[in-house]
């Protein structure tokens, strides 16, 4: 009788330990899965934030460049505020969004950056020409950049971002 009671107690203890071990492993697996889901959600949130920032900074840069093309920069300080700052923010956003883009999409963005850099250079020369106090004054040359050229350069990037944010986005809209 003592032996069967000992076996019963041992079986109960072994069953309890085994149950606790299984429960621990299940809770650890659940915690790892939850942690992985949180990581994936953060990565997805980061992707969307970076792509949205790319879109917003490009739109802001385009808007400000168009305004400066119509209404000349007053001086280098005005140029810095209205051209250089939005351009730098766009470049920063493009650099941070590159991780989520294909090589073809990166090339498209590089082409847009090149066009905006060309416009930025033109606007800088124009601002230098208008700013009598600027020490690096160079002869102003008549290079023109049009608002339409900038819009044409920005349009493919805007479509890329919209497609990334909404896979059902119709490119022909």
Residue 86 within any structural domain of the chain: yes
The stretches in the chain having pLDDT less than 50 are none
What pTM value is reported for the model? 0.72
Give the pLDDT score at 136.
Answer: 57
Distance CA 142, CA 131 (A): 16
Residue 10 within any structural domain of the chain: no
Give the pLDDT score at 137.
Answer: 54
Give the pLDDT score at 49.
Answer: 92
Cβ atoms < 10 Å from Cβ of 126: 20
* Closest by CA position to 119, among listed 141, 88, 87: 87
Residue matched to tokens 């040359």: 141
| Cα Dmax for the chain | 110
Residue 27 within any structural domain of the chain: no
Distance CA 137, CA 17 (A): 83
Give the pLDDT score at 1.
Answer: 65
The answer to whether the beta carbons of residues 164 and 122 sit under 8 Å apart is: no
Number of domains in the chain: 1
The answer to whether the beta carbons of residues 161 and 54 sit under 8 Å apart is: yes
Can you give the residue range of the structural domain that contains 90?
Answer: 44-165
CATH number at residue 90: 1.20.1440
* Closest by CA position to 106, among listed 117, 115, 95, 116: 95
Distance CA 83, CA 119 (A): 9
């Amino acid at each position: 009788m003592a032996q069967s009671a000992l076996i019963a107690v041992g079986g109960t203890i072994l069953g309890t330990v085994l149950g606790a071990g299984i429960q621990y492993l299940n809770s650890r697996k659940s915690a790892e899965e939850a942690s992985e889901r949180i990581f994936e959600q953060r990565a997805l949130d980061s992707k969307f934030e970076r792509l949205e920032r790319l879109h917003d900074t490009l739109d802001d840069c385009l808007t400000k460049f168009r305004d400066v093309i119509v209404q000349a920069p007053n001086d280098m300080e005005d140029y810095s505020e209205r051209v250089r700052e939005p351009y730098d923010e766009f470049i920063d956003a493009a650099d941070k969004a590159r991780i989520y883009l294909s090589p073809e999409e990166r090339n498209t963005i590089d082409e847009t950056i090149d066009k905006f850099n060309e416009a930025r250079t033109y606007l800088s020369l124009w601002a230098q020409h208008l700013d009598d106090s600027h020490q690096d004054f160079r002869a102003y040359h008549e290079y023109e950049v049009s608002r339409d050229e900038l819009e044409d350069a920005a349009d493919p990037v805007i479509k890329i971002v919209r497609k990334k944010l909404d896979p059902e986005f119709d490119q022909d809209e």
